[in-house]
């Protein structure tokens, strides 16, 4: 399976022809949150419709800059991963939207205990590969470090990764922390803000990925 992972769209969809072609030619589009920029269900729907014109196979979580009504839209479209798990071609996909608390008081923030409560729903499924899509990055990694040098990721997300040991984590939220890292055997990828950046991932017998 070939996957394109995108995050932190913030309503921006003026993508190049090259990016549009990438989306057309993958098996699945994974969206790791911030579909809108403080937008509602209608705003998110416009973004999803634009991507669906290129590829109808989409799974997504909301971000902290998406209002709660965006969650309803994702569920209505049957593409929601927040608190849900799906198995496609023996690959398990599951996710967490929003973010841990921040000084910015954005529309969809959760306490660490609320995040942990969502994550306790997930159990290993019969699958060759487990992919966790989390808008907030795990704490104390390369992917949660802001320009000022502070780590601002979720402690509960990190604890979950250490215990569950998914094969791959796709996260976002911290635009400047685009890159990769590892927690134990788990590969972590922050594709960086779309449409300038994205990641293409091939999952066969082993994991192959490229950041753009």
pLDDT in tens, 29-74: 999 999 999 999 999 999 999 999 999 999 999 999 999 999 999 9
Domain count, the chain: 1
Contacts of 3 (CB under 8 A, 6+ apart): 26, 27, 28, 29, 30, 131, 200, 201, 202, 203
Average pLDDT over the chain reads: 97
Check residue 206 and give its pLDDT. 86
Domain housing 113: 2-211
Going by C-alpha positions, the residue among 104, 114, 107 that lies closest to residue 64 is 107
> What value does the mean pLDDT take over residues 166-179?
98
- Classify 32 as helix, strand or coil: strand
Cβ atoms of 38 and 8 within 8 Å: the answer is: no
Instruction: Using the predicted structure, report yes or no on whether residue 204 has a pLDDT greater than 90.
Output: no
What pLDDT score does 121 carry? 93
Is the pLDDT assigned to residue 130 strictly greater than 90?
yes
Q: pLDDT band at 205, cuts 50/70/90? A: confident
Work out whether strand 179-183 and strand 28-32 pair parallel, antiparallel, or are unpaired: unpaired
Q: Which residues have a Cβ under 8 Å from the Cβ of 72 and sit 6 or more positions away?
A: 41
What is the spatial distance between Cα 185 and Cα 130, in angstroms, rounded to a whole number?
12
CATH code of the domain containing 184: 3.60.21.10
For residue range 71-101, what is the model confidence (pLDDT) as tens digits? 999 999 999 999 999 999 999 999 999 999 9
């Amino acid at each position: 399976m070939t996957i394109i992972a995108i995050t932190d769209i913030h309503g921006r969809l003026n993508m190049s022809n090259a990016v549009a072609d990438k989306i057309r030619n993958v098996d699945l589009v994974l969206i790791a949150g911030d579909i809108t920029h403080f937008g509602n269900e209608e705003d998110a729907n416009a973004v999803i419709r634009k991507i669906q014109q290129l590829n109808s196979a989409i799974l997504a979580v909301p971000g902290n800059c998406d209002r709660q009504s965006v969650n309803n839209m994702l569920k209505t479209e049957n593409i929601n991963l927040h608190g849900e798990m799906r198995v496609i071609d023996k690959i398990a996909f599951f996710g967490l939207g929003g973010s841990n608390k921040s000084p910015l008081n954005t529309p969809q923030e959760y306490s660490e205990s609320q995040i942990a409560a969502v994550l306790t729903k997930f159990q290993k499924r019969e699958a060759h590969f487990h992919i966790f899509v989390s808008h907030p990055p795990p704490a104390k990694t390369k992917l949660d470090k802001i320009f000022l040098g502070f780590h601002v990721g979720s402690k509960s997300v990190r604890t979950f990764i250490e215990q569950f040991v998914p094969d791959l984590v796709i996260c976002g939220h911290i635009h400047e922390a685009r890159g990769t890292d590892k927690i134990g055997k788990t590969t972590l990828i922050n594709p960086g803000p779309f449409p300038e950046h994205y990641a293409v991932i091939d999952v066969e017998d082993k994991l192959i990925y490229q950041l753009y």
